[in-house]
Amino acid sequence: MTQPSNKDPFLLLKEKKSAGEIISSLTAYDYPTGRLLDEAGIDFILVGDSLGMVFAGLEDTTGVTIEHMIYHTQVVARGVKNALLGADLPYHSYRTPDEALENAQRLMEAGADAVKLEGGTSQIDKVCHLTQHGIPMIGHIGMLPQRVREEGGYKKKGRTQDDAERLLRSAKDLQQAGVGAIVLESVVPEVAAEITRSLKIPTIGIGAGSDCDGQIRVIHDLLGAYPWFRPPFATVYADFAGDLEKAAHSYIKEIQ
């Protein structure tokens, strides 16, 4: 059983929030990417269940299993020495508090420094169970990719007063339950800003405006490595897909 540690894995992120410095975060799914991002100075690296789409070609994240997450966490962890390394609990891996604890412990044993699960107030019993057993936790509210089929697509959250209040309440409940940071995904920027101001712990935004304490992006979006879909909030800084195609064409010419 994982025992509580005296070391706070979120210390750097909290210090950056206090100093008003932006927290940098990207996803990684393999050893070289994890190592390169770590050496570049990224603060928080997440082994996200987004790997189901950009790595495995699935329609969404619901087909990712705990075994997939354990494997990718193991290989990324080999390259990460300095950054906070988080790992997602995938769909249907935390249906009960005990199931959540068992699978969170497996991710920690695979090399994660912290574990993330989706959902707010409705998940507090599981979050409390994990934090009480020494699992450093990351929350995730707003648009929840694991519920995309239930909700019929990816939808912006916080558009109504009731929804904005629900998100703020969830964020405060997660903080009270002991999470060290919260991802805000596809939240109306004004609501994300209010949540960020209301919390002592850091918020990490994705499609939630620029007023969060940090930003996270899927590495394939940053690199232009998944050209079939690019979210509107992601800036593309490279053309890996184009460069790979050119390299393949050059190789074909060479061997011919």
Q: Which residues are catalytic?
A: 185
Residue with tokens 């100075």: 41
Closest to 115 (Cα-Cα) out of 132, 139, 149, 98: 139
What's the CA gap between 53 and 154, in Å, rounded?
14
What's the CA gap between 151 and 185, in Å, rounded?
15
What's the CA gap between 66 and 140, in Å, rounded?
18
